[in-house]
Amino acid sequence: MAVQTQDKVAALSGRESKFADLPASLRERLRDRLHVAELRRRPRTLSTRLLLTLALVGPGILVMLGDNDAGGVITYAQTGATYGIGVFLPLTLLLGVMAYVVQEMTIRLGAVTRRGHGELIWKRYGTFWGAFSLIDLVAANVLTLMTEFIGIRVAGAVFGLSPFFTVPAAVAFVAFILVFLRYWTWERIALFIAVLNMVFLPIAFLSHPEWAAVGRAFGTWHVSGGMLSASFLVLVSANIGTTIAPWQLFFQQSSVVDKGLLPQDIPAGRRDLALGVTAMVLVAWAIIIIAGQTMHGLPGAQNFQIEQILASIHASVGDTATTFFALGLMEAGLIAAIVITTSTCWAIGEAFDLPRSLNEDPRKALGFYLPGILGTVLAGVVVLLPGVPLGFLNLLVQVVATIFMPAAMLFLLMLLNDRELMGEHVNSAGRNALALGIMAFLILCNAMFGVATLFPHLL
């Protein structure tokens, strides 16, 4: 027995010395990949398939549920309040498909090149476009984080919590898991929080919608005021803006790289994204149904802010639904804060060629972790200042995204057509046609929303 133990120790010490020169971050990633490889070698039973699926999900679910952020919750609620459970239910499904097409490209790009979006732009198209993308992304991220913390602040107030507790606690939590957890654990915790986004589903049932009307919404596309009315177009654009945003392209690609996904994992990455898109659409439907049921027809519903939305739900559905909605809002803000902060770290690491993995020891990669944390702290501090102009912040977020979106889309399409980088995984002609159509539509709607926001009297 003692001899066996000695042998094991000797074997272990021998192995440790053999791989001792591997960087700690690579050892972490290899461990994750060894786990996947081990699961793939096992007999294909149901439990093995489930474990493999669980091991490979992450970036897709996180990006799509992170996309249902505090601002998204407000947009969906305003949509349901204005148009009821009508045209926006099928439209959200269409937006989900569009999001899938766009985000799928980042999976291939990351898995094939093993590089993040920011790094590819910087190295392939030069300093100007690299710096432009980075500055725009970081500015948009910090501004978006402010809206997330406003959502957390308002949701905390429902439970009688002071903003001086909820906001710093959220900032501390985001920073803690970013700095002290390695990729695998960080991703698992983020996924757990992301899945809580589903809390909106039971509220939709509690609001007792007319399910026949929900079903009919998919067959009739009637829009009161017409599909070319300014209010409809602005809400369509806002819904698109909340479904596909520039940070998502950067986040998912970097996440795919940091998770260590490779070309053979692309199908798994697609399934992960499909799960995320499905969950995103279900949650969006739930919020639209809740708002359509509780706020549709109320005067000024289109411009309801989160406090009025919560008050309407409380008046129509009661305490339990309000509590769930506030929890959902807090979760939406928190998961978005987690993924957006991480996307800032990755983008800055890629731009300045720093060690750029959540597997890096913070003592050796301060330059990677610190900028993201500082941006998040800044957003948290601003939100705690008295009289924060929420409308102005939302305006700024939209303006920055409007300027950035075409560039992000253009770079994505160019990189996906770069045969030197992508090899056999380059976009096919059909996929290009689809992507071009979607991108043109997205850019048009984004620009239109920007114009409508800046010059509301033009539409």
Partner 1 sequence: MRDFDAYDDTAIERLLHEEGWDRPLPPIARQKPAGWYRVAFWGLQVYIAVMLVAVAVSFIRGVH
* Footprint on this chain of partner 1 (rule: CB under 8 A): 12, 15-16, 18-19, 26-35, 37-38, 113-115, 119-120, 123-126, 132, 184, 260, 262, 391-392, 395, 399, 402-403, 406-407, 410, 414, 418, 421, 447, 450-451, 454-456
CA distances from 197 to 113, 126, 143, 262, 325 (A): 32, 39, 22, 29, 10
Backbone angles phi, psi at 182, to 5 degrees: -90, 170
Q: How far is the CB of 132 from partner 1 (least distance, A)?
A: 8
Q: How far is the CB of 154 from partner 1 (least distance, A)?
A: 21
If the CB atoms of residues 33 and 296 are measured against partner 1, the closer one turns out to be: 33
Alpha-carbon span 442 to 438, nearest angstrom: 6
Check if the beta carbon of residue 449 is closer than 8 Å to that of residue 234: yes
Closest to 97 measured CA to CA, from 400, 443, 437, 444: 437
The two three-digit tokens of residue 90, written as one number: 């099928």
If the CB atoms of residues 302 and 316 are measured against partner 1, the closer one turns out to be: 302
Q: How far is the CB of 445 from partner 1 (least distance, A)?
A: 15
Token pair 């339990």 is at which residue?
Answer: 320
Q: Which element (helix H / strand E) includes 133?
A: helix 127-158
Q: How far is the CB of 449 from partner 1 (least distance, A)?
A: 12
If the CB atoms of residues 42 and 208 are measured against partner 1, the closer one turns out to be: 42
Q: How far is the CB of 414 from partner 1 (least distance, A)?
A: 6
Alpha-carbon span 415 to 417, nearest angstrom: 5
Q: How far is the CB of 152 from partner 1 (least distance, A)?
A: 24
If the CB atoms of residues 31 and 49 are measured against partner 1, the closer one turns out to be: 31
Q: How far is the CB of 22 from partner 1 (least distance, A)?
A: 9
Alpha-carbon span 74 to 80, nearest angstrom: 10
If the CB atoms of residues 318 and 391 are measured against partner 1, the closer one turns out to be: 391
DSSP 426: S
Check if the beta carbon of residue 261 is closer than 8 Å to that of residue 111: yes
The two three-digit tokens of residue 52, written as one number: 């493999």
If the CB atoms of residues 18 and 44 are measured against partner 1, the closer one turns out to be: 18
Q: How far is the CB of 331 from partner 1 (least distance, A)?
A: 26
Q: Which element (helix H / strand E) includes 456?
A: none
Q: How far is the CB of 52 from partner 1 (least distance, A)?
A: 13
If the CB atoms of residues 274 and 407 are measured against partner 1, the closer one turns out to be: 407
Count the Cβ atoms, other than its own, within 10 Å of residue 267: 11
Task: Classify the phi-psi angles of 69: left when phi > 0, otherwise alpha if psi is within -120 to 50, otherwise beta.
Answer: beta
If the CB atoms of residues 255 and 446 are measured against partner 1, the closer one turns out to be: 446
- Give CA torsion, residues 302, 303, 306, 312, to 10 deg: -50
If the CB atoms of residues 297 and 300 are measured against partner 1, the closer one turns out to be: 300
Closest to 362 measured CA to CA, from 170, 178, 116: 178
Tell me the CA end-to-end span of the chain in Å, nearest whole number.
82
Residue type present at position 31: R
